[in-house]
Structure 1
C-alpha cells in the first residue's frame, strides 16, 4: 500500500510484522482484526462491533447536517441555530455520518475534510472515520432542503432531463462523473437517487425524479447505481441512498410532507404497488441505503391489513413488515431529516416531521423509529437518547447492534477505515474537468424536448418604416406573394419549420445572454422590430410561500401562468414568431401560451448555451416528456394523485416529443 500523506497523517499508518500497511486506529501499535485490510468486511465489522461502547454504537445511528467553512479550516464553520457545534457533534456525541450543505471550492473543501477525519480519529476510541454525504448538487435547482446547483462540479440537467433522454448509458455516464467529482473532495454518500414517481402534477419534488413511468424510473435508477456504486460498493464508490420508500409521489393536493399541511399521502386510484415497483427493482439489484418519506399514509390497506396512519419512518408495518420482511431488504434504512426535533434556519422554524405522532415525547419518537426498523436518524444529533433508552431497558443492545452492524459494513466497504483522506491538490483538477463539463452540456442539450415546431414564413421581413406601436412592435409584413415594403424587401411565401434556427438569424430575447446567442452563430438584437424571432424562457409557475423554514424553496401550488406572462407572449407573437422555452421542474399548464408560439421546447435544467445548441440543431434535442402536461389546473384538481397521467384531455402526453428535421 502506497501512502503519500503529510506528517501527522502518515504516522497513523504502520506496517505489521507481516509487512501489511494498516491504520493504527486505536493507537495501540498493533494490527487488530478490524484494522487488517486483508480480512473480509464481515469479520472486520464483527471484531469492531464487539469492542464498541454503547455510546459509540449510538453515535453511528445519527446523520446530521454541516456546512464546510469557507476558509477550509475546521472550526471556522458558521454556528447553527439550536444545534451543537461540529466539534461537539464529533468529539462528544461521537456522530460520524455528516451531510454537506455549503461546500467551498474543491481544494478548500478537501482540506476541511482531511482535518475532519483527523478530528474523528482523535475523538473516537476506535478511530471510526466520518462518512460525508450530500443531496444532489450537479444541476440547476437550488433548494437548500433538497438539492444544490452544480457550482464547482459539472452541470447536468435535473434527473427529469435524464429521464427525457431515456438513455441508460447517459445516466451511467452522469453517475460515474458525479462519483469522480464527489470522491475528489471526500463525499462518499449520495442522498439519492430519488425514485418516487411524478404522478401528482403539483408536487414540488418532481424535478429530482425520473418522471411518472415506473418501468423507466426503475431502469434509470439501476443505471444510476451502476455509475455511483459499481457492481458492488468499494473504495472507489459513492454509496447511494434511494428515496423515498415506499414512493413519495402521491401527495394529497400535491403538497409536500416537509410541511404540516402536506403530511397526507393518499391512494384513491389503488396504485400503491405501482409506486413500489422501482424499489422492488433496486432492492433486487442491490443498494446501500433506503430512506422512507415523511408522508403519512391515509386509508392505505396492504394484504387486507390497515396501515397505521403515521409517517413512514415511524411505521413498523412499512419498514419492517414490507421493506425488511416482504421485500427482503437488509441494508441501511435512514429516516428523512428531522422526524424527532424541530429545525431552525435563517430565522424560520419547521416543526418535527412527526406526522401522526406529534403527541409523543422526543424519547417516545426515537423509540418508535427504532421499533419501526430504521437504523439511522437523519438530521438529528441526540445519541444520548438512544443510550438512555437502552440503559432504561426500553431497547435491547442487540437491537442497536443490528443497526450498528449495517452502518459499519458500508464504512468498511467504502475503504474509509483504511484511508479516508483525499488529495487536496488533486481535488481542484478532478472536480469540474473540461470533459465532464462538456458531457454535462451535451446532456442538457439532448434533454431539450421539442413540443411544437410550426412552419413559418421563411426569411420574413419586418416593415421597419411602418409606425411602431405603443408596445414597441412594428406590424408584420403581408404574406402575399411578392409583397414589398418601402425598402423593396420581398416577403417570401415559402414556409418551413422554425426549428432548427438557421445560422445568422436575428434573435430577440430578454432572458438569454447575448454573448451566448452570438456564440451559437445567431445575431442578438435589442429590439423586437429588428428580430426574425423571439425566444422566451419561462419557469413553471408556482405559489410563493415563506412561513416555514425551507418553504420558499419548494415550488408548490397552482400550475397556471399569471396574466402578465400570457400577455407578454401574446404581444411578442403579434410581431415575430415566438419560441417558448419553459423550464419544467414540475408540469406547467402551457395552454394559454402555446397557441401564441411557433415553437415550444421544454427544458429541465439547461444553460443558455445548451438551449441554443438544441434550438440550432448543433446538438440534436432528443427529449421526450417524462410526465404528462395537463391542460388546466381544474384537470389536475380532478385527477387522482397516485395514478400516472390521470388528467383529462392533457395538452401533451408523457413520452411526447418531436425530432428536428
Structure 2
C-alpha cells in the first residue's frame, strides 16, 4: 500500500489509494455526516453510536461536521458536553475506530465552525466578524486566527467553515454580524489574513487548520436582506465586488470553498458550473475541494425546484463541481443511483475524491491522525487568547459620538448607573455561532465597569430596564430611579443573536437571568432572523427617552449584530459607542474605552443609514443612484468613520508622478499628525475615483488602508503605491484594463473626509 509511504509525493499517494477504492468507499469520502451523532457521552467517557460504526464498515466515513459543536441545535449543553480534554479524547476514539475498522484505514476529516472562535465548550469566544472588520487591522485578525487554529486543531478539528466573505448590501440581513464589511477590498484583506493565520506555513502542523471560504457567492446581496433569497446582479458586479475576496483567499492558498444557498440570475450556486468549474478551477487554479452548505442540495429539488428528484439534484451538484455534501443526505441517498442511471460518471466521482484526499494528505491525517488531550487542555482558552479577544473587542468598537468630550470618564468617585437589556446578559454580547458558556467566563459591560472602579471611590448601580424585544415596561421605574441616584448613565442597548441556551431573559426587577422556554427568546438577529427595519426592538428607545428626561449625562453603548437606525439616540445621547457583539472579553474592552485605558480606533466597515428606506446604501454606489422625496442618500455615519480621543490632521497630499503611461507606478503620500494630547491609532484610507470610463463605475472605491499609531505631537508620512490593479476596470469584454483619463486619489480618515488630487493615465 504505497499510499501509506510518507516519502512519496501527495499526488502519488492519492493515485495509489484511489486505485484501491470501491465505488462505495469513494462515495463515502464525498459525504460529511453530523459528528455529534457519532457518539454518546456516558459517565466518565464516550461510546460510539451504532449508526457510526455501521457507516464505517459499510462505506468508510469521509468527514464529520461539528463533532465538537455545542449549541441548542446539536442539543449539547454545558452539562452534557465535553471539556477540551474530553473532546480531544472523543475525537481520538472516533478517529481510531475509523482507521482500524475500515478496509483501507482512511482517516476522517473533522470540520468545525470557527466564525469567531471554535464553537466548542471551553474555547475562546472572540468578537464577531463585523467587529473584526471594524478594527481595520488584518495583522491583529491574523493573530486571532492563529489562536483559533491552535485551539481547534488541538482537539482534532482539521478544517474550519470560515471566514465568511460575503459582501453586505442590506444590513437588515440577520447574518450581517458574520461578515466583515460592505467593501470587497477590506473583506479581501481579511480573507488573506484568515488563510495565513489559520493555515500557517504548513497544513500538517498541529497548530494549523484548513480554511473554507464561504458562502460562494453573492449571499450578502439577496433581495431585501432576506436570507437565501434570489440575487440579481450582472457578471461585472459579481466579479469586481462579490468574487474579489474569494479570489484573494484562493490566491492565499485556501483549501476549501463552501457554496451559497442563493441563486444568481436564476441559477443556484450549488449547481452553477460557471462559478465552480470555469471561474474557481479553470480561471483561478483552485485545487482544493468544494463543500455545500447544510441542506443546499436538498434545495435544488425542494426550494429552487431545478431538479425533479434527489438523484437529479445530487448529480446536478456533482457535475457542477461540488465535491462534498455537508449532512450527506442527498449524496448518501442518491449518488450511487445517479451513477447507475448515467447521470454522472465514474471519472467525475474520482475527481472529487482526489480533491478531498489531497487535502487530507496535506493535513497530515494519514501520517498522524491523533491529537494530544493534554495539549488541548492546556491550549484551549489560554490567557494569551483572552488578551487577543480583549484587544480585538477594543479596536473593533467604534466611537460614533462624543459631545463636549464626555468620554473618557474620570475615576473621580462619581456614581455610575449601568442600565439596559444588554448590560449583563452574557449570551446577548456573544453573537450567533457560539457555544454554551459558564457565567464566570464572560465579562459583561456591568462586570467590566465594576472591575474598572473596584479600587476607586466610585459606585456602580445596575438595573436592566427592559428586555431586547419584549414590550413590557415593568422595569422602567426601577431603571429611572437607579439613573436618578447616579451622576452619569451608561445605557447598554442593541440586539441579541442568542439562541435558546436556557437563559433567554432577565428579571426586570432584580436583573437576574431567568430560565425560559423558546417563546421568550430575545433573539432579533442572527442566521434566519432578518428584519424589515433597523430600529431598536421592543421598548428600548422609550427606556432611553425616560432616562434622558433626568437631564444627566447619557452614554449609549450598542451591542448588536447589525447597524441601528435611531435618530433620537443620535441627537440626544451625549456619547455613542458601537461595540457590535464583542465576545467574552467585551466588558473589559468596553470599560477600557469608556475610562480611557484604551483609545477608540475602530472605523465603520459598513454604512449606517438615516432611514431603512435608503437601503441598499453602500459607500461605493454608482453615481446614478437617484434620490427619494423624503430623504437624500447620505448615510447617518459613513463608511470608514470613527472618532478618537485625540485629533489627527492630514496635510500635503502629493502624487508622483501625476502622469502615468503603460506600467509605470505612482506613489501617493500624505502627512498625518496627532494634534491631540493622548496616543492614538488612526486608519489612513485610500480611495480612487475614475472620473470618465467606458462602463459605469462606483463614485469611489477603497483601494488601500494603513493603521498607524502616533504619540501626541508626532507626525508621519503614509505612502501608498498605485499600480494597475488600483485603477483597472472590467471592459465591455470583461477584460481587466486601465483606461486613459483622470482619476481622483483621495486619502483621509473616512469615505467622506479626505484630501484629494488628480492622477492622469495616458497611453504611450
Taking structure 1 as the reference length, what is the TM-score of the superposition? 0.77
Rounded to whole Å, the distance in 2 between the matches of 1:48 and 1:625 is: 50
Q: Which residue of 1 aligns with 2:260?
A: 293
Q: Which residue of 2 aligns with 1:577?
A: 553
1:537 aligns with 2:537: no
Distance 1:352 1:93, change over 3 A: farther
Gaps of 5+ in 1: 1-31, 78-83, 140-146, 299-308, 342-350, 456-495
Q: 1:37: how far off?
A: 1.8
Q: Secondary structure at the match of 1:325?
A: helix
Q: How does 1:63-462 map to 2 (within 5 A)?
A: 63-67=32-36, 69-71=40-42, 73-75=45-47, 85-100=51-66, 101-102=69-70, 104-136=82-114, 138=116, 148=119, 151-236=121-206, 237-257=208-228, 262=229, 264-267=230-233, 271-273=237-239, 274-298=241-265, 309-341=266-298, 354-357=302-305, 359-381=307-329, 382-383=331-332, 385-455=334-404
Rounded to whole Å, the distance in 2 between the matches of 1:653 and 1:272 is: 24
Q: Deviations 1:325-376 (Å, cap 9, x if unpaired)?
A: 23332321111111234xxxxxxxxx77854335520011001001111111
Q: Is the 8 A contact 1:540 1:587 kept in 2?
A: no
1:605 aligns with 2:605: no
Q: Deviations 1:122-158 (Å, cap 9, x if unpaired)?
A: 332110111111122645xxxxxxx94x741122111
Q: Deviations 1:475-514 (Å, cap 9, x if unpaired)?
A: xxxxxxxxxxxxxxxxxxxxx4333444544211134355
Rounded to whole Å, the distance in 2 between the matches of 1:642 and 1:116 is: 49
2:596 to 605, 609, 617: 617
1:565 aligns with 2:514: no
Deviates more, 1:203-212 or 1:555-564: 555-564
Q: Which residue of 1 aligns with 2:14?
A: 45
Q: 1:97: how far off?
A: 0.7
Q: Which has the higher contact order (CA 8 A, sep 6+)?
A: 1
Rounded to whole Å, the distance in 1 between the matches of 2:167 and 2:271 is: 22
Rounded to whole Å, the distance in 2 between the matches of 1:524 and 1:123 is: 60
Taking structure 2 as the reference length, what is the TM-score of the superposition? 0.67
Q: Which residue of 2 aligns with 1:554?
A: 528
Q: Is the 8 A contact 1:66 1:86 kept in 2?
A: no
Rounded to whole Å, the distance in 2 between the matches of 1:209 and 1:552 is: 11
Q: Deviations 1:414-458 (Å, cap 9, x if unpaired)?
A: 111111111123321110111111221222122111000111xxx
Q: Which has the higher strand share?
A: 2
Q: Is the 8 A contact 1:198 1:644 kept in 2?
A: no
Q: Is the 8 A contact 2:290 2:324 kept in 1?
A: yes
Rounded to whole Å, the distance in 1 between the matches of 2:14 and 2:144 is: 32
Deviates more, 1:100-109 or 1:377-386: 377-386
Distance 1:188 1:501, change over 3 A: farther
Q: 1:643: how far off?
A: 5.2
1:595 aligns with 2:566: no
Q: How does 1:493-504 map to 2 (within 5 A)?
A: 496-504=405-413
Q: 1:563: how far off?
A: 6.5
Distance 1:505 1:639, change over 3 A: same
Q: Secondary structure at the match of 1:154?
A: coil
Q: Is the 8 A contact 1:55 1:384 kept in 2?
A: no
Rounded to whole Å, the distance in 2 between the matches of 1:618 and 1:138 is: 25
Q: Which residue of 1 aligns with 2:432?
A: none
Q: Deviations 1:75-96 (Å, cap 9, x if unpaired)?
A: 477xxxxxx9333443334222
Q: Deviations 1:226-265 (Å, cap 9, x if unpaired)?
A: 01112443233200110111232101010001xxxx3x11
Distance 1:588 1:90, change over 3 A: farther
Deviates more, 1:314-323 or 1:645-654: 645-654
Gaps of 5+ in 2: 71-80, 425-445, 463-481, 501-517, 626-631, 647-764
Q: Is the 8 A contact 2:600 2:645 kept in 1?
A: yes
Distance 1:640 1:245, change over 3 A: same
Q: Is the 8 A contact 1:450 1:621 kept in 2?
A: yes
RMSD: 2.9
Q: Secondary structure at the match of 2:399?
A: strand
Q: Is the 8 A contact 1:505 1:532 kept in 2?
A: yes
Q: Is the 8 A contact 1:559 1:588 kept in 2?
A: yes
Rounded to whole Å, the distance in 1 between the matches of 2:112 and 2:596 is: 35
Deviates more, 1:103-112 or 1:562-571: 562-571
1:658 aligns with 2:643: yes
Distance 1:543 1:159, change over 3 A: closer
Q: Is the 8 A contact 2:115 2:161 kept in 1?
A: no
Rounded to whole Å, the distance in 1 between the matches of 2:538 and 2:124 is: 36
Rounded to whole Å, the distance in 2 between the matches of 1:644 and 1:316 is: 29
Rounded to whole Å, the distance in 1 between the matches of 2:567 and 2:367 is: 58
1:632 aligns with 2:592: no
Q: 1:44: how far off?
A: 1.0
